Amino acid sequence: MQLVRRGEAEAFEVVYERHSSAAFSLAYRMCGSRAAAEDVVQEAFLSLWRSGARYDRARGSVRTWALGIVHNRAIDSLRRSVVHDRRRASDEGLEERFEARERTEVEVARLAESEEIREALLTLPPEQCRVIELAYFGGFTQTEIAAMLPAPIGTVKGRMRLGLEKLRAQLGGLREVMP
């Protein structure tokens, strides 16, 4: 990242190669369309390039920082959407719709990690899983979620907190291995 801070394009290209697939996966998961996901990823990486100097290693890995920017951009994009069409593609078979390629060992490890996280989500009580999904991947605010369910806003907040605490207990081991 020091080289990226100095404005070296080759160094940034390495960062892009390492994290672009995870970024696109997240953006596609949230936006539900390839075109919107492409927009989000492009905006996010240009933002990342231009704000490289603000990366603070003490606050997490480059991957977490990059995905955080993608997440924020995707939420901004979803909340800008006039139609508010949040229909998302089914996860099933998504991989087959995109060009398959060989996976490196790191990617295989991340795939396993990704599956572990999804499995952990499925162990949550459905009402807790739903509010987390709607907020984090759907980009909905707590007020919108309360109106959709419907449920009091305090209940929505409580479910989010309980759900995250359970996930934390289950995923504690990942803290040691996450890049």
Partner 1 sequence: MSMDGCSRIDDAASYVLRAMPDGEWEEYELHLRGCAACAEKVAELGFVSDALLSGVPQLSAPPAIRDSVMAVVRAESELLQAAGASADRPPAARRSRRLRFAVRPLAAVALATVLLALGIGSGMLLTGDDGSPTRTLTGETVAGTARLHIADGAAKLVVAGLPPPPRGRIYQVWLDHPNDQQPPQPTDRLFSMSKHGRATVDVPSVEDVSAVLVTDEPIGGSQVPTGKKVITVRVT
User: Among residue numbers 134 through 153, which ones bind partner 1 (CB under 8 A)?
Assistant: 135-137, 139-143, 145
Of the residues 68, 86, 149, 151, which one makes contact with partner 1 according to CB under 8 A: 68
Of the residues 62, 148, 151, 171, which one makes contact with partner 1 according to CB under 8 A: 171
Q: Does 72 bind partner 1 (CB under 8 A)?
A: yes
Query: Is the four-CA dihedral 18, 32, 148, 80 of positive or negative sign?
Result: positive
Q: Does 95 bind partner 1 (CB under 8 A)?
A: yes
Of the residues 7, 14, 84, 125, which one makes contact with partner 1 according to CB under 8 A: 7
Count the helix, strand and coil residues of the chain and give each as a percent rounded to the nearest 5: 75, 0, 25
d(CA 123, CA 166): 9
CB atoms < 10 A from the CB of 107, how many?
Answer: 15
Total number of residues binding partner 1 (CB under 8 A)? 78
Q: Does 86 bind partner 1 (CB under 8 A)?
A: no
Compute the least distance from the CB of residue 63 to partner 1, in Å. Answer: 8
Tell me if 45 sits within 8 A of 23, measured CB to CB.
Answer: yes
User: Among residue numbers 8 through 67, which ones bind partner 1 (CB under 8 A)?
Assistant: 8-9, 12-13, 16-17, 20-26, 28-29, 34-35, 38-39, 41-42, 45-46, 49-50, 53, 60, 63-64, 67
Compute the least distance from the CB of residue 86 to partner 1, in Å. Answer: 14
Contacts of 88 (CB under 8 A, 6+ apart): 29, 30, 31, 32, 137, 138
Residue with tokens 């795939």: 111
Closest CA relative to residue 124, chosen from 168, 71, 68, 172: 168
